[in-house]
Amino acid sequence: MRGAAATLRVMVVDDHTLFRRGLVALLDADGRFEVVGEAGDAGEAQRVAAQCRPQVILLDNHLPGVAGVDALPQLRAAAPEARILMLTMSEDERDLAAALRGGAAGYLLKTADSDELAQAIERAGRGEASFSAAMTAKLSAAFGSAPAGAPAPPQGLPAPAPAEAVDDQIASLSPREREILELIARGDSNKEIARALSIAETTVKIHVQHILRKLDLSSRVQAAVVLATRKT
């Protein structure tokens, strides 16, 4: 048992035993985290998650039987309070779209280094989204344009808006708000934005609230998608 009450309870789901055990060892050696469960397939993940009640779940996409993105709804039902981060080798925007549709809190590539992974887990614990840089660039490919008759975008993400409407919304932001929006789309947390701009974190929070209200959005992920769409 760990003495620090602030440690985040993490669960690892990956069918590659060697990789999973290495990741568990890495996280267990970090005082910020406590690995409370692990699983090698979707069915086992649901059972373990319901028992160990993790705060953050690291989920691979390529699992035997049922892909990770397809297992998201059932895993979220088994552990409704957990935030789920995809940790996968897939850079396919269709997998990214499916992950967000299923309620994932972020999408990381297995090429991420240990610091990037740790920061992403901490962000998830705070209710923030995280994406590998390569996947942030593909948000617009996943949702920025859709052919006639295409299905609606995933629940919780904005429908593609006409370029003129998006430009008008962005133009309504102050120069500081546009600067912060760029950093949100990059995946920076409020603390990182505050440090980068040399302002208080509480000031950043106020700016983020104003940005979401002006853009008629409800989450930072939506803001990242809107900005990515504008850049296409």
Each residue's pLDDT, cut to its tens digit, for the chain (232 residues) gives 344 446 999 999 999 998 999 999 999 899 999 999 999 999 999 999 999 999 999 999 989 888 898 999 999 999 999 999 999 998 888 888 888 878 888 899 988 888 889 988 998 888 877 888 778 767 655 554 433 333 344 444 444 444 455 567 788 899 999 999 888 877 677 888 999 999 999 999 999 999 988 887 766 766 766 665 555 4
pLDDT at 133: 74
pLDDT at 106: 86
pLDDT at 145: 41
Q: Give the Cβ contact number of residue 231 at 10 Å.
A: 10
Q: Cα dist. 115→39, 45, 120, 195 in Å?
A: 23, 25, 9, 18
Judge whether 86 and 68 are in contact, CB under 8 Å. yes
Q: Residue 104 is encoded by which pair of tokens?
A: 């994932």
Question: Phi/psi of residue 154, each to 5°?
Answer: -55, 150
DSSP classification of residue 89: S
State the pTM of this model: 0.66
Structural domains of the chain ordered from first start: 8-136 (3.40.50.2300), 150-230 (1.10.10.10)
DSSP classification of residue 64: S
How far apart are the C-alpha atoms of 155 and 195, rounded to whole Å? 32
